[in-house]
């Protein structure tokens, strides 16, 4: 129960930091906070303590690939913000993220067995 509470505290601290930074002179730094590996650290600790180091490496590799949907989201926000209001921009950018994430999952399930086979 204490670990669950600690995870909640980390998430709340990140949201608070984003809110504070968004009101500062350096508001753009708020875009860096979600990239701090708070949840990646938690995920990697859990995978690393409950599974093999090979599974940890695969988790890290998948995490690296997951930057592609995030980049798609950011590019969509940047471009769509010229043409749409905030709600439409963020909604459409989320659809872009979902599409990219779906493609990543399809590709990963198709090609990750090849990665495992080639690493042996």
- One digit per residue, the tens of pLDDT, for the chain of length 120 reads 777 888 788 888 888 999 999 999 989 888 888 888 878 888 999 999 999 999 999 999 999 999 999 999 999 999 999 999 999 999 999 999 999 999 999 999 888 766 666 654
In the prediction, which pLDDT does 117 show?
60
Q: What is the 3-state secondary structure (H, E, C) of the chain?
A: CHHHHHHHHHHHHHHHHHHHHHCCCCHHHHHCHHHCCHHHHHHHHHHHHHCCHHHHHHHHHHHHHCHHHHHHHHHHHHHHCCCCCHHHHHHHHHHHHHHHHHHHHHHHHHHHHHHHHHHC
pTM greater than 0.85 (yes/no): no
Q: What is the pLDDT of residue 16?
A: 92
pLDDT, position 115: 66
SS3 per residue for 46-73: HHHHHCCHHHHHHHHHHHHHCHHHHHHH
| Residue 6: predicted pLDDT | 82
């Amino acid at each position: 129960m204490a670990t669950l509470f600690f995870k909640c505290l980390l998430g709340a601290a990140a949201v608070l930091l984003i809110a504070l930074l968004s009101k500062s002179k350096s508001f753009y730094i708020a875009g860096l906070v979600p990239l701090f590996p708070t949840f990646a650290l938690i995920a990697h600790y859990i995978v690393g303590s409950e599974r093999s180091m090979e599974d940890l490496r695969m988790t890290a590799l998948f995490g690296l690939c997951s930057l592609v949907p995030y980049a798609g989201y950011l590019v969509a926000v940047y471009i769509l913000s010229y043409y749409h209001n905030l709600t439409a921009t963020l909604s459409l950018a989320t659809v872009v993220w979902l599409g990219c994430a779906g493609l990543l999952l399809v590709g990963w399930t198709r090609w990750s067995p090849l990665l495992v086979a080639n690493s042996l």
